[in-house]
Amino acid sequence: MQGAPSIVDTQSEPLNPDSSASINGHPAIIDAFIDMYQKLNKDNLSMLAQVYRDDIRFQDPLHKVEGIAPLTRYFANMYQNVTHIEFDIKEVVISANQQQAGLYWTMTYSHPKLNKGQSINVEGMSQLRFSDKIFAHRDYFDVGQMLYEQVPFLGGLIGLLKNRAGK
């Protein structure tokens, strides 16, 4: 995970010499973010405050959360409902000004009521905006792939619709 490929655009603007960077060229906060997500579970949600500002704005296709306390509750609920979850970071793209990052990932999770409790893989992307800590985090992923296609009757219907649309 720490060795995720990185694309750093240094052509547009000079890098900020005051921002600390890791060996792989990522700003230190991005490495801390990746490391945190490798360790995060229901018992250590206090780690969120290490990478997110108190006024964090988090959004995914299903939720919009503002503030570290509501974000911590969101994660507590998520971890309560899954039996397993992990993130594999595939690629990290850093903006020229070292204040934004795009992380491409695969989330693997298991939920007892979805896909007969078997693992589900979801491809996604996180857009992060940061200074000393992350103040905006937006996730993009296919909700159908994550949820709707995993419900027994609904999943079959969505599969049928996708097949017909592809013809």
User: Which pLDDT band, with edges at 50, 70 and 90, does 107 fall under?
Assistant: very high
Please answer whether residues 152 and 72 qualify as being in contact, where contact means their C-beta atoms are separated by less than 8 angstroms.
no
Q: Which of 55-59, 63-67, 138-142, 155-159 has the lowest mean pLDDT?
A: 155-159
- pTM metric for this prediction: 0.76
Predicted confidence (pLDDT) at residue 145 exceeds the cutoff of 90: no
Please answer whether residues 97 and 116 qualify as being in contact, where contact means their C-beta atoms are separated by less than 8 angstroms.
no
- For 12-39, the pLDDT digits (tens) are 333 333 445 555 678 999 999 999 999 9
Measured CA to CA, the distance from residue 88 to residue 106 in angstroms comes to: 5
User: Which pLDDT band, with edges at 50, 70 and 90, does 85 fall under?
Assistant: very high
Overall average pLDDT of the 42-56 stretch: 96
User: Which pLDDT band, with edges at 50, 70 and 90, does 63 fall under?
Assistant: very high
Measured CA to CA, the distance from residue 14 to residue 126 in angstroms comes to: 24
pLDDT for the residue numbered 47 = 96
Measured CA to CA, the distance from residue 67 to residue 70 in angstroms comes to: 6
**Domains in the chain: ranges and CATH:** 6-141 (3.10.450.50)
Grouping H, G, I as helix, E, B as strand and the rest as coil, residue 165 is: helix
pLDDT for the residue numbered 10 = 38
Predicted confidence (pLDDT) at residue 1 exceeds the cutoff of 50: no
Percentage of residues of the chain with pLDDT beyond 70:
71
Predicted confidence (pLDDT) at residue 152 exceeds the cutoff of 70: no
Measured CA to CA, the distance from residue 53 to residue 132 in angstroms comes to: 8
